[in-house]
Structure 1
Amino acid sequence: MGLMSRHYESIKVRAEDGIVFVQMHRPQANNAIDDRLIAELGDALSACEAQATVVVLEGLPEVFCSGADFDEIRGRFERGTIQGQDPEPLYELWRRLACGPFVSVAHVRGRANAGGIGFVAACDLVLAEDVASFSLSELLFGLMPACVLPFLIRRTGIARANYLTLTTQPVSARQALDWGLVDACEADSANLLRKHLLRLRRLGKDGVARYKRYAAELDDSLAAAKPKALAANREVFGDADNVAKIARFVRSGKFPWEAD
């Protein structure tokens, strides 16, 4: 596959028999989301749209994805720049996982937080290690999971999404399974993935693409929510007070309610 000859810095890619494994790989940043990660994942998905029947999205053993790159936000703040990352490329990346002409599978080990939940909720199937955890921590810093919510509500409903947003507390893989965020979990998630791929590899790409297109036509909620989600994201990340809280947290490790 042409995909295998491409050089990436933030992801690792391998392929076998129509299945592409894409691993987010920023261990130095706890798999935080920056512009390069978004761009490289987008490039890989473009190739997958033409070549892959199944796309497996993975993280690191201890952290699937920790959300926005706070260190990058701190750097912009200290340079005097408030407005940060354009949210549209990330929203479109999640929409492609949800609606693209392949089966998207999130294989979650460790911690999935904030924007990491966006990746999880966007995928067709979510398989988790039973010690994985899922959380939305944004409100601790005056933010909100604006772009995550359309994908999360689509999976869990408004009540569960509201609970995760307001409590900011992590829930276990078993709880996430009960709520519909996770489809299956086991102690040996690699074996769980293997069992699912034994069946998924029997699917034909044309049939999968046709089904995904039809499913997207039945539910256009992601497209309808996009303008509001982008506007809300830009509002909270354009708030100087919120950005200052993030910069302080990165420098000192102190949450907004903790004194200097």
Structure 2
Amino acid sequence: MFQTVTLQSDPTGVGRLTLNRPEHHHAVDARMMDEITEAARLAARDPAIRVLILSSSGPTFCAGGDLGWMRDQIEADGPSRATEARRLAGMLEALDRLPKPLVAQVQGSAFGGGVGLLSVCDIVVAVDTAVFALTETRLGLIPATIAPYVLARIGEPAARRLMLSARRITASEAASLSLVARAVPPERLADAVEEEVALLLACAPGAVAETKALLRSLRHPVPDAVERSVAALVARWESDEAREGVSAFFARRDPPWRSG
């Protein structure tokens, strides 16, 4: 059914949504966005799934947005750019609105949109060797559609520091910012996730779903935050910096702001 992800469930009520594009370090392109969105909707409707684990295959959790997809948006017209920005926003919204607990099992590093994916999870368990970064500004891009979720997760001071500098942080620092709930040795990852899942399965599923919905309703974001983030991303794709940054990446050269 899917080409870039898998969705499975077991008799205990646990589902697993696995990013399955390891040859590209799970960089998220249009197909993967659509498949993650559809998998989230399927999991939401499946009464046999009470908890969903988000994981990935290979050494990297998620490298962020696929740069080939981004290059296509830079070359596209305005309406096409808006459609693709909303595709990305829709994927994040589908995961954020999942009426079941979403637990991330992070076996490797996450960058850019990968941090966005973690920000819509309820609980993130990561290996203590993982590295995290919001790398968009190094490429002349901006972390637009993920910004409302990252901001809600780690707060404005931390978001400013990480988004503006694109600095890398360790799993320990990510835990101090509440991006990660637990940072554990690699050999403890599966057990630590199971421990979190067991606690969730001991709770009433209806109460869990209503609690998640209540927490979403109590947030205080700008009412049109998603549309603002979409507009910001479309505008950035139109910029000379974005064109130069993505071109420099594929040409394996430094963009002008990194020369000298």
Compute the TM-score of the two structures, normalised by the length of structure 1.
0.89
Q: Output aligned runs, 1:142-153, within 5 Å.
A: 142-153=140-151
Aligned partners of 1:139, 1:42: CA distance in 2, in Å?
A: 26
* Partner Cα separation in structure 1 for residue 249 and residue 77 of structure 2: 16
Aligned to 1:118: 116
1:76/1:215 CA distance change after superposition, 3 Å: closer
Q: Does 1:28 align with 2:27?
A: no
- 3-state SS of paired residue (1:119): helix
Alignment deviations for residues 178-216 of structure 1 (CA, whole Å, 9 cap, x no partner): 111111110021111011112222233222222122222
2:65 is matched with: 68
Contact 1:14 1:20 in 2 (8 A): yes
Bigger mean CA deviation after superposition, 186-195 or 91-100:
91-100
Aligned mates of 2:146, 2:43 — CA distance in 1: 23
Match of 2:255 in 1: 256
Partner of residue 245, structure 1: 245
Equivalent residue for 1:3?
none
What residue in structure 1 maps to residue 6 of structure 2?
12
Q: Distance in 1 between matches of 2:217 and 2:53?
A: 23
Q: Give the aligned residue type for 2:65.
A: A
CA contact (8 A) 1:138 1:144 kept: yes
State the distance in 2 between where 1:222 and 1:98 align: 16
| 8 A contact 1:27–1:60 mirrored in 2 | yes
Shift of 1:75: 5.6
- Provide Cα deviations, 1:211-255, integer angstroms capped at 9, x if missing partner: 1222222125275411211111111122244124313311x2223
| Contact kept? 2:21, 2:27, Cα under 8 Å | yes
Distance 1:99 1:12 in 2: 20
Report the equivalent of 2:155.
157
Structure 1 SS opposite 2:52: strand
Which residue does the alignment assign to 1:4? none
Structure 1 residues 128-152: Cα deviation after superposition (integer angstroms, max 9, x where no partner) = 1111111011111221111111111
State how far apart, in whole Å, the 1-side matches of 2:69 and 2:97 are: 29
Output the aligned Cα RMSD: 2.0
Instruction: Tell me how far apart the structure 2 counterparts of residues 50 and 220 of structure 1 sit (CA, whole Å).
Output: 28
TM-score by length of 2: 0.89
Cα distance in 2, alignment partners of residues 144 and 192 from structure 1: 33
Q: Distance in 1 between matches of 2:226 and 2:183?
A: 30
Distance 1:224 1:74, change over 3 A: closer
Structure 2: stretches of 5+ with no match in the other structure: none
Query: What amino acid does structure 1 have at the position aligned with 2:133?
Result: S
Gaps of 5+ in 1: 1-6
Q: Equivalent residue for 1:167?
A: 165
CA distance in 2, matches of 1:135, 1:145: 11
**2:239 & 2:9 partners in 1: Cα distance?**
42
Assess if the C-alpha contact under 8 Å between 1:151 and 1:222 holds in 2: no
Alignment of 1:90-105 (within 5 A): 90-105=88-103
**How far does residue 53 in structure 1 lie from its aligned partner after superposition?**
1.7
CA distance in structure 2 between the partners assigned to 1:192 and 1:24 by the alignment: 20
Aligned residue in 1 for 2:44: 49
